[in-house]
């Protein structure tokens, strides 16, 4: 099969397709024929830095998510040809991932999905919508009566969260740090240019999805109404941790702070997401798509950070 096989730090312009063995199934694992996959920041981080870490066994095929069909069900209850999505749980890090024609994946991280979406649209969903869904419902307990602030709205995750919250009936405020991107937030109730300090500028936010991350988190907490909840899910601002975190001063009285990690998808949540997409006729927000033969261009687009929406690669047209 064709696959991206990484042995060390690999800038996008050096990414190539190689020949690799189709993996052999073993108990507890299923073989998935990859039809398409979405691309993610964490794959860029793996390719450019993390691959040097001792815990990454090399060579490694990257890719933390994919959609496709069961090619060998092994000892699982899947059937041959069944439509599935797979994501996270060590995919593309602890074991080979989705930048390949076939992926051998732990059966418990592969989810049967019923959807009328095309392979390309389907591939834009798993990681991005699972993360948006978990942040909005598990962490923020989002209700139609909420006003949701999405800080860092112009990213694939931001667009997905906005889409879900609007479909639910929420009032949505979203920010971008670029004036020229304000039109991309045309679907929200209030699009705001983010200069790093929004305290006192925004009103009525009861829930907030923080995608810029620790860089703006203190300010986001101070934008909330009493009883408001902030979920830190993104790190677009490039600051990963809060050093000298003083909870008494950092978190305003009566405001709540939580965070989301997409490592533990479940069948129930995947079913809920696809039913919601279907019921509300949502079109996943795809920023750019590539054929597998153009994987280098797809990686260049990911590293360039200029695509508005999810980057999707179709392995089989």
Ligand X SMILES: NC(=O)c1ccc[n+]([C@@H]2O[C@H](COP(=O)([O-])OP(=O)(O)OC[C@H]3O[C@@H](n4cnc5c(N)ncnc54)[C@H](OP(=O)(O)O)[C@@H]3O)[C@@H](O)[C@H]2O)c1
* Interacting residues toward ligand X by CB under 6 A: 40-41, 127, 131, 152, 154-157, 176-178, 181, 211-212, 233-237, 260-262, 305
Nearer to ligand X, 30 or 221 (CB): 221
d(CA 5, CA 14): 11
- Minimum Å distance from CB 271 to ligand X? 20
- Minimum Å distance from CB 89 to ligand X? 12
Nearer to ligand X, 2 or 177 (CB): 177
Strand partners, 85: 67, 111
CB-based contacts of 103: which residues, under 8 Å, 6+ apart?
A: 23, 31, 32, 34, 61, 63, 66, 68, 86, 91, 96, 97
- Minimum Å distance from CB 88 to ligand X? 8
- Minimum Å distance from CB 161 to ligand X? 9
Strand partners, 112: 84
- Minimum Å distance from CB 213 to ligand X? 6
End-to-end distance of the chain based on CA atoms, in angstroms? 16
Nearer to ligand X, 84 or 157 (CB): 157
Nearer to ligand X, 96 or 262 (CB): 262
Nearer to ligand X, 48 or 235 (CB): 235
Please state the three-class secondary structure of 226-289 as a single string.
Answer: CCCEEEECCCCCCCCCCCCCCHHHHCCCCCEEEECCCCCCCHHHHHHHHHHHHHCCCCCCEEEE
Tokens of 140: 């923020």
- Minimum Å distance from CB 233 to ligand X? 4
Nearer to ligand X, 234 or 284 (CB): 234
Q: In the chain, how long is the greatest CA-to-CA distance?
A: 58
Among residues 12, 60, 75, the alpha carbon closest in space to that of 39 is found at 12
Tokens of 3: 């696959």
């Amino acid at each position: 099969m064709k696959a991206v096989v990484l042995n060390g730090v690999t800038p996008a312009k050096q990414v190539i397709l190689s020949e690799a063995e189709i993996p052999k199934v073993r108990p507890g694992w299923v073989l998935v024929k990859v039809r398409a996959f979405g691309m993610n920041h964490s794959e860029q981080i793996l390719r450019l830095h993390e691959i040097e870490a001792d815990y990454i066994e090399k060579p490694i095929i990257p890719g933390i998510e994919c959609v496709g069909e069961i090619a060998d069900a092994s000892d699982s209850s899947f059937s041959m040809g069944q439509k599935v999505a797979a994501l996270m749980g060590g995919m593309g890090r602890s074991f080979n991932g989705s930048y390949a024609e076939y992926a051998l994946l732990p059966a418990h991280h592969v989810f049967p999905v019923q959807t009328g979406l095309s392979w390309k649209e389907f591939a834009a969903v798993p990681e991005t919508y699972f993360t948006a869904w978990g942040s909005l419902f598990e962490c923020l307990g989002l209700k139609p009566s909420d006003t949701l602030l999405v800080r860092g709205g112009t990213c694939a995750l931001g667009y997905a969260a906005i889409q879900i919250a609007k479909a639910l009936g929420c009032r949505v405020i979203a920010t971008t740090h670029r004036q020229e991107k304000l039109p991309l937030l045309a679907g929200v109730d209030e699009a705001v240019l983010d200069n790093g300090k929004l305290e006192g500028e925004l009103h009525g936010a009861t829930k907030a999805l923080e995608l810029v991350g620790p860089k703006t988190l203190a300010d986001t907490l101070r934008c909330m109404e009493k009883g408001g909840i902030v979920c830190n899910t993104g790190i677009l601002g490039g600051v990963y941790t809060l050093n000298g975190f003083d909870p008494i001063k950092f978190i305003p009285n009566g405001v709540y702070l939580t965070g989301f990690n997409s490592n533990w998808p479940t069948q129930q949540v995947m079913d809920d997401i696809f039913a919601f997409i279907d019921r509300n006729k949502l079109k996943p927000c795809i920023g750019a798509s590539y054929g597998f033969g153009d994987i280098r261009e797809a990686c260049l687009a990911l590293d360039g950070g200029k695509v508005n929406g999810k980057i999707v690669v179709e392995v089989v047209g």
